[in-house]
Structure 1
Amino acid sequence: MTEHEEGRTLDAGALKALAHPLRVRIYDLLSERGPQTASSLAALIGETSGATSYHLRALAAKDLIREVEGRGTARERWWERPKGRINLPGPDDRMSPANRAAAQIVTSEFFRLRHQTLMDYLNRPDSEQPEEWRDAGLVMTTTLDLTPEQMAELKQELSDAVDAAIERYRGQEGAPGTRRVSLRAEIFDLPAAISRGTTDQE
């Protein structure tokens, strides 16, 4: 299997395999914490190892995860998520009803977990955070008035900055002093009714 460095858009089969809240959670944990076994995932999620093993096999069948080569035993297999970004196709009217439902489940669960991760960070007491990490994060929100062309340009700049960071820090997994961090970049248009200068009344 090749790594999807340029971004893998999930097809209908992969979406359907992922369209289960527990599978999205497993996939997210493999991204966040690195390789895991069915037993370690069960402890993190609060499920049985039999349940996590079943879902791991379903994810592996669609090339979403893979077994770690040279690690583990016949009784205890290690699993990882291949490096590289994935693109989640949002619900589309051109999809079949079943595929659209799968896309909705996957997208909703991914962003629910993403928001929960952010809230856990914001509500984490200082006593649970090493001093050198307490002011390392940044949560920033602003609004701008842009044309579609300007937003596309800014989107590309943000994407280039993220790609540069990925390349700069590639290969540091497990290095002394490092922690896995979440890097987020979001840009999207607001509904016209709440965008300045686009109200229905003059």
Structure 2
Amino acid sequence: MSEPRREAPLDHAAMKAFAHPLRIRMFAHLTDVGAATATQLADRFGESSAQTSYHLRQLARHGLVEEDAERGTGRERWWQASSFSIPDTQAREDPVLRSLAGTVLAGLLEQRMLALRTWSEDVDAPQPWVQASLQQATTASLTADELATMNEAVQEVLEEHIGRAKQRRESDPEASSGERRVRMYYDAFPLPLAD
């Protein structure tokens, strides 16, 4: 599977295109499972392939998904999720963008809760995966600089481990037999000031 494009901030048009419930669910499926065709997404969500194909084209138009050039032949197009960011500072200052960002964030949080619930209810999960997983909440008192430094360090650790796994797959395709797609959530933000 080819690597998705690097993270790009979403503009008004992209946010508006993404703020559609089916598109958010399709995007979440592509990030959870990996590349898929419009037909596979149609089967997954009980839609017509014409409908999912249309929504994929709209997402692609705004850089939210891209064609997986290493897969598919002829009319069979495989799509993968792209990385993006929601322009936080701009969204706080622009009421339209703030509203769109809220809609997108609500949809993504719903998908996040579904993924966490599905994992927590999986009574047949293999013990090595249960022991390797982590769900944690930590609260600390930090300055803005300390928070920024911590976030940079966490990002570096994530990139290091993801890069190492990618190298393993590239050097020995057989070595991926025991791997699973893994979701990492990390949020670090200030809590409201006490009254």
Q: Provide TM-score, normalisation by structure 2.
A: 0.83
Equivalent residue pairs, number = 187
Query: Residue 177 of structure 2: SS of its match in structure 1?
Result: coil
The alpha carbon displacement at 1:191 in A equals 1.4
Q: 2:122 aligns with which of 113, 124, 127?
A: 124
Partners of 1:65 and 1:163 in 2: how far apart?
A: 21
After superposition, the Cα gap between the structure-2 partners of 1:150 and 1:94, relative to the gap in structure 1 and judged at 3 Å, is closer
After superposition, the Cα gap between the structure-2 partners of 1:191 and 1:96, relative to the gap in structure 1 and judged at 3 Å, is closer
After superposition, the Cα gap between the structure-2 partners of 1:164 and 1:36, relative to the gap in structure 1 and judged at 3 Å, is same
The alpha carbon displacement at 1:148 in A equals 2.2
The alpha carbon displacement at 1:74 in A equals 4.5
| 2:131 is aligned with 1:135 | yes
Tell me which residue corresponds to 1:95.
94
Partners of 2:78 and 2:4 in 1: how far apart?
A: 18
CA contact (8 A) 2:4 2:80 kept: no
In structure 1, runs of 5+ residues without a counterpart are 194-199
The alpha carbon displacement at 1:51 in A equals 1.8
Higher radius of gyration, 1 or 2: 1
Runs of 4+, deviation exceeding 6 Å: none
Tell me which residue corresponds to 2:150.
154
* Aligned AA (1:72): G
Partners of 2:143 and 2:158 in 1: how far apart?
A: 23
* Aligned AA (1:23): R
Tell me which residue corresponds to 1:197.
none
Partners of 1:89 and 1:110 in 2: how far apart?
A: 15
The alpha carbon displacement at 1:60 in A equals 1.6
Query: Residue 69 of structure 2: SS of its match in structure 1?
Result: strand
Partners of 2:151 and 2:19 in 1: how far apart?
A: 28
Tell me which residue corresponds to 2:36.
36
Q: Percent identity?
A: 35
Partners of 1:118 and 1:145 in 2: how far apart?
A: 27
Query: Residue 103 of structure 1: SS of its match in structure 2?
Result: helix
* Aligned AA (1:108): A
The alpha carbon displacement at 1:73 in A equals 4.4
Q: 2:161 aligns with which of 153, 165, 185?
A: 165
Query: Residue 67 of structure 2: SS of its match in structure 1?
Result: strand
The alpha carbon displacement at 1:179 in A equals 0.3
The alpha carbon displacement at 1:20 in A equals 0.4
CA RMSD of aligned residues (A): 2.4
The alpha carbon displacement at 1:70 in A equals 5.6
Partners of 1:77 and 1:130 in 2: how far apart?
A: 34
Tell me which residue corresponds to 1:185.
186
* Aligned AA (2:107): E
The alpha carbon displacement at 1:177 in A equals 0.7
Partners of 2:54 and 2:5 in 1: how far apart?
A: 24
Q: Provide TM-score, normalisation by structure 1.
A: 0.80
The alpha carbon displacement at 1:181 in A equals 0.4
The alpha carbon displacement at 1:42 in A equals 1.8
